[in-house]
Amino acid sequence: MTTTPTRRLPESLDAGVALVGPALRETVIRYLCPEMGRVAQYHHGWTDADGRPTNAWGGKLLRPALALLSARAAGGAPASGVPAAVAIELVHNFSLLHDDIMDGDTARRGRATAWTLFGVPPAILAGDALLTAAVSVLLDSDSAGARSAASSLLTATQRMITGQAVDVDFERRTDVTLAECVAMAGNKTGALLACACSLGADLVGADPELVRRLAAFGEHVGLAFQLIDDLLGIWGDPDRTGKQVGADLRVRKKSLPVVAALNAPGSAELSTLYFRAEPLTDQEVRRVADLIELAGGRDWARDEAARQITAAEESLAAAGIPDAIRGEFLDIAAFITDRRF
Amino acid sequence: MTTTPTRRLPESLDAGVALVGPALRETVIRYLCPEMGRVAQYHHGWTDADGRPTNAWGGKLLRPALALLSARAAGGAPASGVPAAVAIELVHNFSLLHDDIMDGDTARRGRATAWTLFGVPPAILAGDALLTAAVSVLLDSDSAGARSAASSLLTATQRMITGQAVDVDFERRTDVTLAECVAMAGNKTGALLACACSLGADLVGADPELVRRLAAFGEHVGLAFQLIDDLLGIWGDPDRTGKQVGADLRVRKKSLPVVAALNAPGSAELSTLYFRAEPLTDQEVRRVADLIELAGGRDWARDEAARQITAAEESLAAAGIPDAIRGEFLDIAAFITDRRF
């Protein structure tokens, strides 16, 4: 989730960084051996490739902030959700380490990716070590819901892996349905955000119904984010997204607006262009974007994002949590999804 | 652990295969999505690359047999250790999937490795999915020690990752001490075997002292296995090991007998040859083997293996378990370590 900060960061994020940042680092040092710790600390932005301290930006810690909020939503003390916040961020970073290898990406957050500096084997192992540490952090906490939270985190991780696997499999297919694509996005993006929004509550032993409603909120926010991110991948302003115009179209990504359009009536020209082996010219990229819009893919994705945001708000309202905490959840959700498209 | 069956398989292994085989397959199908299940089922030897059933050999299930025994050692019913047996085998296979990628190995158990058939991304993800499923299987069981067993499995996994990471790091170093090398082997090989020998007991809620003694037994057996495996990598009969003569020396592996010799007095010639950039000729490989033997590396490793086997027997005797179950543990340990060297 690489939102460009188009607005001031919600204050909840500051609290998250202050509480979770040190705990996250202590966890990495405690559970990982020095060799793996070196890779993980570089990846998190705390050190350079030689292990010297840096001030590199390690991300906004959106998921940890949500996990802390969810513990407070269940009546927990401000710090009670810290193990959940640490665990969710470790799983997120495990997936980034492995994704960068799988995608062959050489840069992340303006720095060289870990595998390009340390090699593929240490980067694979460091990812494995972070996933392992994430579950240990929950089980080693003395919270009432430790076992339940660990199970939830594992289920979310398995869903995230499913989403990734299906996304990889989409690359060779030309018959992806919209339902398959929505399910993939739910697994790839929704699952971990649903877990982030509920894991702290789970950990402090909240009523399962509250946990379920907070998870539903996160799941809808995650889907809304993915729809908006997909729209930006086609029509986003390169100055704001940091990506080339139509970047996703050039690599023939089967994103949500594309799949919606391909499954709409009259998509023959789009289908022919999109599944052609040869690269698309700039003019053809513009034509593909127009064809997606003509087939209704852009409108569908915008409307669906709005529906998901409404559904998220309804799930949160039904959770019956204090207004102040609900407000903080909504602030972060607005930050995640509020980008022009 | 790829022991060549030089003697009849202990009967405990048959029971293990019969009980654990179906449960293992059900777990893979239940927890993994179809895309990942396809990779994992191929890797386990149940299907070919197209998903058709095969009779490929999926391994002897040594670790699951030990896990089942450990549950019985703690007074559990024969099937009470099944979740532990499944979990330990899933972690073992997670590590094999990732190891094959990291080592660039193209064959395992006489078949193409998963990454060569399905690609690196699906093989990385399938390993991640197996690790995730392994912990879920324990937490989703209704056994008294589920949380403790899950913690133990994660600790063993983190140690195994540490061993791998340190082993990778050894490749660039010329100053590895014997203590470092023994610690690496303990992490890489001992940790998972220690966990296999105690996880079933842990799962059924055994006295922590029994769990600790069974783990110590497995740790010693694991170290003995590694010492013997390292001896075979230098002086093993290629017809029995399936490897080239002196295979480990050609790749300059920092195995236990080598590191023992390099740290002994008068190892200057060995050091010069071993750390030379150019490949070793057949004659030089023989010379290196002789130099290791002259420096005492072979004797040390043989003696240390014997000491580890004695220590294993003592740990098991101190566990105070029924003679019949102790006998089965010793049968499997003998099978793992009883190879000519």
In a domain, B6, yes or no: no
Q: Is B262 left (phi over 0), alpha (psi -120 to 50) or beta?
A: alpha
Domain membership flag for residue B4:
no
Contact with chain A for residue B169, Cβ under 8 A: yes
CATH, residue A215: 1.10.600.10
* Locus of tokens 């349905």: A177
Among B161, B172, B187, the residue to mutate for chain A (most A Cβ within 10 A): B161
| Residue with the larger pLDDT of the pair A142 and A256 | A256
The average pLDDT across A270-278 equals 95
Q: Cα Rg for chain B, rounded, in angstroms?
A: 20
B151 and A CB contact within 8 Å: yes
Residue A60: per-residue pLDDT: 83
Within a domain: B5: no
| pLDDT score, position B225 | 96
| Residue B125 with chain A: CB contacts under 8 Å | 98, 102, 161, 164-165, 168
Q: Count chain A–chain B contacts defined by CB atoms under 8 A.
A: 130
Straight-line distance from the first to the last Cα atom of chain A, in angstroms, rounded to the nearest whole number: 16
Residue B162 contacts A, CB cutoff 8 Å: yes
Other Cβ atoms less than 10 A from the Cβ of B126: the count is 30
Q: Give me the number of domains chain A comprises.
A: 1
Q: Which run of H or of E encompasses B122?
A: helix B120-140
Q: Which of A19-28, A291-300, B7-16 has the lowest mean pLDDT?
A: B7-16
Report the pLDDT averaged over residues A109-132.
96
B24-31: average pLDDT: 97
Of A11-25, A228-242, A279-293, the range with the highest mean pLDDT is: A279-293
| B313-334 pLDDT, tens digit each | 999 999 999 999 999 999 999 9
Q: Which stretch, B58-62, B89-93, B275-279, has highest mean pLDDT?
A: B89-93
Strands A111-112 and A107-108, sheet pairing: antiparallel
Interface contact flag, B158 A31, Cβ < 8 Å = yes
- Outline where chain A has alpha helix (H): 11-31, 34-44, 62-73, 82-103, 114-118, 120-139, 146-170, 178-185, 191-203, 208-235, 238-241, 247-250, 256-262, 268-274, 282-294, 297-318, 323-337
pLDDT in tens, B179-208: 999 999 999 999 999 999 999 999 999 999
Evaluate whether B40 touches B115 at the Cβ level (below 8 Å): no
Residues A193, A185: Cα–Cα separation, whole Å: 12
Identify the pLDDT of residue A340: 41
| Residue bearing the bigger pLDDT, B190 or B337 | B190
- Calculate helix-pair angle for B34-44, A146-170, nearest 10 degrees: 90
Contacts of B126 in chain A (CB under 8 A): 165
Residue A249 falls within a domain, yes or no? yes
User: Is the pLDDT assigned to residue B241 strictly greater than 90?
Assistant: no
**Among B11, B54, B121, residue whose Cα is nearest residue A171:** B121
In a domain, A232, yes or no: yes
Residue B33: closest C-alpha in chain A: A162
B36 and A162 in contact by Cβ < 8 A? yes
State the Cα–Cα distance between residues A9 and A59, nearest whole angstrom.
Answer: 12
Digit-coded pLDDT (tens) for B75-129: 999 999 999 999 999 999 999 999 999 999 999 888 999 999 999 999 999 999 9
pLDDT of residue B266: 85
Of A60 and A197, the structure prediction assigns the larger pLDDT to A197
Write the single-letter amino acid at A59.
G
| pLDDT for residue A271 is more than 60 | yes
| Distance of alpha carbon A150 from alpha carbon A195, whole angstroms | 11
Q: Is the dihedral of CA A173, A178, A183, A189 positive or negative?
A: positive
CB B38 within 8 Å of CB B51: yes
Mean pLDDT of B22-37: 96
pLDDT of B7 strictly over 80: no
Cα separation, A285 vs A280, whole angstroms: 6
> pLDDT value at position A7?
54
Please tell me which residue of chain A has the smallest CA distance to B138: A151
pLDDT value of residue A100: 97
CA distance A8 to A229: 19
B149 — contact with chain A (CB < 8 Å)? no
- List of long-range contacts for B264-273, beta carbons under 8 Å, 24+ apart: B264/B295, B264/B296, B264/B297, B265/B295, B266/B295, B267/B291, B267/B295, B270/B295, B271/B174
In a domain, B3, yes or no: no
Long-range contacts of A309-318 (CB under 8 A, 24+ apart): A309/A220, A309/A221, A309/A224, A309/A333, A309/A337, A311/A216, A311/A220, A312/A216, A312/A217, A312/A218, A312/A220, A312/A221, A312/A224, A315/A213, A315/A214, A315/A216, A315/A217, A315/A220, A316/A213, A316/A214, A316/A217, A318/A213
Mapping DSSP to helix (H, G, I), strand (E, B) and coil, where does residue B107 land?
A: strand
What distance, in Å, lies between the first and last C-alpha atoms of chain B?
Answer: 16
Q: Which tokens sit at A58? A: 């390690």
Please give the share of chain B, as a percent, with pLDDT higher than 90: 84
Say whether A150 and B150 touch across the interface (CB within 8 A): yes
- Domain residues for the domain of B214 are 11-337
Contact B168, A180 (CB under 8 A): no
Is A164 within 8 Å of chain B by CB? yes
Query: How many of the other CB atoms lie within 10 Å of CB of A193?
Result: 29
Q: Is A169 on the interface with B (CB under 8 A)?
A: yes
Task: Quote the radius of gyration of chain A (alpha carbons, Å).
Answer: 20
With the CA atoms of A100, A123, B193 and B234 taken in that order, what torsion angle do they form, in degrees rounded to the nearest 10? Answer: 120
Q: How far is A142 from chain B (nearest CA, A)?
A: 12
Which residue among A35, A121, A140 sits closest to B151, beta carbon to beta carbon? A140
Q: Is residue A224 part of a domain?
A: yes
Model confidence at B272: pLDDT above 60: yes
HEC string for A288-299 = HHHHHHHCCHHH
Task: Report yes or no on A4 lying in a domain.
Answer: no
Amino acid letter, residue A214? L
Average pLDDT, chain A: 93
Length of chain B: 341
Residue pLDDT, tens place only, A299-329: 999 999 999 999 999 999 999 999 999 999 9
Does A280 have pLDDT greater than 60? yes
Strand partners, B112: B107
Question: In angstroms, rounded to a whole number, what is the distance separating the alpha carbons of residues B51 and B45?
Answer: 10
Question: Crossing angle for the helix pair A297-318 and A282-294, nearest 10 degrees?
Answer: 60
- Per-chain mean pLDDT for chain B: 93
Lowest mean pLDDT among A48-52, A126-130, B191-195: A48-52
Q: What one-character DSSP code corresponds to residue B15?
A: H
Contacts with B36 from chain A: Cβ below 8 Å: 161-162, 165
Q: Is the pLDDT of residue A4 over 70?
A: no
Confidence band of A234 (pLDDT split at 50, 70, 90):
very high
Is residue B340's pLDDT more than 90?
no
